[in-house]
Amino acid sequence: MSINNSRSSPNNSDQDSKPSLTSQTQTLSSTQNIIAQTPSKRKLPSDSPISTADSLTPISKSSQQHLSSTSLSTKRPKIEIQPLSSEMIPENSTSSLPSSSKSHPIPSPKTLPPKYKEEEIVRIILQQLSDLGYTSTLQKLQEESNHKLESEIVTEFRTGIIEGDWRNAELCLNKMNIKSKHKHQSILFYIKKQQYLEALSSGKYKTAIKILQNELSTLNFHHKSLHQLTRLMLCTTTAEITEHIGWLGNIKDSRQALLDSLHEFIPSDIMLAPHRLQTLFDQALEYQKSSCIYHVSDGKNTLYFDHTCKHKPQFSEKPSKIMFSHDDEVWFVVFSNNGKYLASGSKDSTIIIWETENFDKYLTLKGHNNAISCLSWSSDDSKLLSASNDMIIRIWDIKTGACLKEIDKHTEFVTAAQWLPDGKSFVSGGLDKQLLLWSSDGQLLKQWISPRVHDLKVSSDGKTVVVADNENSIHIYNFVSLEPIKILKETSNVLSIFLASDCEHLLVGTQNNQLHMWNLLTSSVVQSYDGYKQGSFVTRCGLGGVNESVVYCGSADGNIHLWSRNSGMTIQVLEGHVSNVNCCSFYYYNNKHQVLATAGDDHSIRIWEQPQATNDPTAKQILLVLNEKKNFIIEDLDETHVFVESSAVQMIKSALDSVLDENTYKVDITIT
């Protein structure tokens, strides 16, 4: 859609921690045909295609093998090896054991040179053993490796901090051979600061003043922090101290936090950073996620295999529904918050409300005299807001289709309008350089001057409003004080924006055939999305799917592009419209199903849905259906393997047995 009558771009006018996989999980291998035509009804064997996942070795696929002839053992044969006793040898046997059974030394595997220093590896393992409480194992590893987690001095230093033996902690610090004088002073400052805060919180003001004057101030260090600590003398409660300085308050927790923070100043060869192995695990997992091309969900964390998201088409290649009820270009579509309705606005000045069960027409709203530029649902979906090039804003009652209010305050095209999250007010903007805040019944509440508005979005917490202007800039305002927070500068004309639900990321559609994902906290572009054709018309971009992991936007060539938000890689390109796609709306519901509505200059609205699961009678398909209700699948490995919760095994067996009973039949064969 455009924000002027000629459909030109604004630049040419005035105008989305779970338990780790453990030995409690199991692996399931599906067979190709669970339902078979058989001479008589068959029950599943007492065993099942499920085995424990301790070894994490999935059962290999048995192609075209009937379930009744499939090995369905839940246990591996148990082999017990015992010494051969004299009672087990026949009395008349005079021969010795065969030479093949004689004891031979087991050859040790070829040792490869370590990629990292042995001492570093061992110390990190020792620390993890200590964190897990495996004291005896830790001691044994130290003895065998001849490496210690840390020296006795460091251990004594830790004990001094935790127990509040400050004098001994300082003595140990002096013996720890920290070469940097600056780091040594920093450690000493934070130790003295802890002493001061503990004295202050317990009401020992004389002791606190003594520490402040005779010890902290003499360090001649961290002057700003020193002034902040001095002001704390005015606080009368621990809660006030906590509020002003962010101190934990609890002595035990604050001492541990102090100890954990000191690793910044102490070399790792003297004292390891806390939970180092966990940190390495977290970093490895984050790297795997960043390398996951089609990343849509974090899934359940596991160390057994690398993280990956299965790449499946987001939508069927053909639309499930095409509607041609508008008489002109369709400029805007948006799903209601509950997904029951879809609203579309057209250049023909009408608005149509569709029921999404079958996408039948529910209401046609008439009243505007020019193209519909924007639509917005109230939070309870009882009202619809419409903005138009006739410079009018209308509020509609969805139950009756009546226009509740007509607002004519704007003096030029109204390009954007959006309800606030509470549903009690909404904001509008246009080419007349006005941002207006309205009550739900259409009373003007606030007004402030802004640049020409091409698009605007309100954050999900209602605290921020983001405005795209006609000068390649994005303005971010504090919605409470109406004061500007910052301005982001884009490389070309900004046509549309979409504010993520985390309130920290902004998707920006530009005229240079590129979408940009901005981090609003750092004011930087963190990802770009290419491949679509912008042309000279307004096309609206957005985020959808689980965790808003999919980026979508229409294209001037009639296609719809979908990208992975995380990697920027193209997931899918949908072809169907014959000219410019102006707007898309993505609705994700029931934790599974998702639907995309697209509007184009070809007067059509097209509905794209996920491919429906086939009735392929395989164990894998049955399990996926069961999982939607029971949620027992931990990881979908491949076409024929899944990891499942061990507690669900019996339920799975019964379900498969039941399905087999329901779907097999007797065949009588007569031979003459």
The pLDDT of 423-436, averaged and rounded, is 93
Rounded mean pLDDT of 7-32? Answer: 38
The burial class, CB within 10 Å (0-12 / 13-18 / 19+), for 91 is: exposed
* Whether residues 519 and 569 fall in one domain: yes
Q: Please tell me whether residues 603 and 627 are part of one structural domain.
A: no
Which amino acid makes up residue 460?
S
Give the domain CATH number at 565: 2.130.10.10
> Is the domain of 624 the same as that of 553?
no
Strands (E), 479-619: 484-489, 494-499, 505-510, 514-519, 524-530, 541-544, 550-554, 559-564, 570-575, 581-589, 593-600, 605-609
Positive/negative CA dihedral, 532, 535, 541, 544: negative
Q: Which of 95-99, 125-129, 298-302 is predicted most confidently?
A: 125-129
9 and 632 in contact (C-beta within 8 Å)? no
Residue 182 within any structural domain of the chain: yes
Query: Which carries the bigger pLDDT value, residue 242 or residue 456?
Result: 456
Instruction: Name the token pair of 524.
Output: 């930087």
Residue 100 pLDDT > 60: no
What's the mean pLDDT in 284-301?
77
> Mean pLDDT: which of 287-296, 429-438, 650-659 is highest?
429-438
**Mean pLDDT to the nearest integer, 226-251:** 77
Report the pLDDT averaged over residues 47-52.
40
Q: Say if residue 417 is in the same domain as residue 503.
A: yes
The model's pTM: 0.61
Calculate the alpha carbon distances from 615 to 187, 438, 460, 622, 665 in Å.
Answer: 66, 52, 40, 9, 18
pLDDT above 50 for 348: yes
Q: What's the start-to-end Cα distance of the chain, in Å?
A: 75
Q: How far apart are CA 613 and CA 623, in angstroms?
A: 12
pLDDT of residue 400: 94
Weakest-pLDDT range from 134-138, 302-306, 331-335, 650-654: 650-654
Q: Does residue 577 sit in the same domain as residue 637?
A: no
What CA–CA distance (Å, rounded) separates 447 from 410? 11
Res 401: pLDDT: 95
The pLDDT tens digits for 23-36 are 333 433 333 333 33
Average pLDDT over every residue of 380-394: 96
Q: Tell me the DSSP string of 395-418.
A: EEETTT--EEEEE---SS-EEEEE
Whether 135 maps to a domain, the answer reads no
Question: Do the domain assignments include residue 311?
Answer: no
* DSSP state for residue 337 in the 8-state scheme: T
Q: What's the pLDDT score for residue 449?
A: 84
Same domain, 621 and 485: no
Q: Of the ranges 82-86, 209-213, 510-514, which one carries the lowest mean pLDDT score? A: 82-86
The pLDDT of residue 660: 65
Categorize the per-residue pLDDT at 592 as very low, low, confident or very high, splitting at 50, 70 and 90.
Answer: low
The residue that leads in pLDDT, 177 or 237, is 177
Residues 588, 627 within the same domain:
no
pLDDT at 200 over 90: no
Residue type, 150: E
Q: The domain containing residue 562 runs over which residues?
A: 321-609
Summarize pLDDT for 69-82 with one digit per residue, the tens: 333 333 333 333 34
Whether residue 88 is contained in a domain is answered as: no
Per the structure, the count of domains in the chain is 3
- Asked if residue 111 has pLDDT above 80, the reply is no
Given a cut of 70, is residue 62 above it in pLDDT? no
Say yes or no to pLDDT of 624 above 60: yes
Same domain, 359 and 403: yes
% of the chain beyond a pLDDT of 90? 49
Average pLDDT over every residue of 287-306 = 77
Is pLDDT at 388 greater than 50 in this prediction?
yes
- Mapped onto helix, strand or coil, the DSSP state of residue 646 is helix
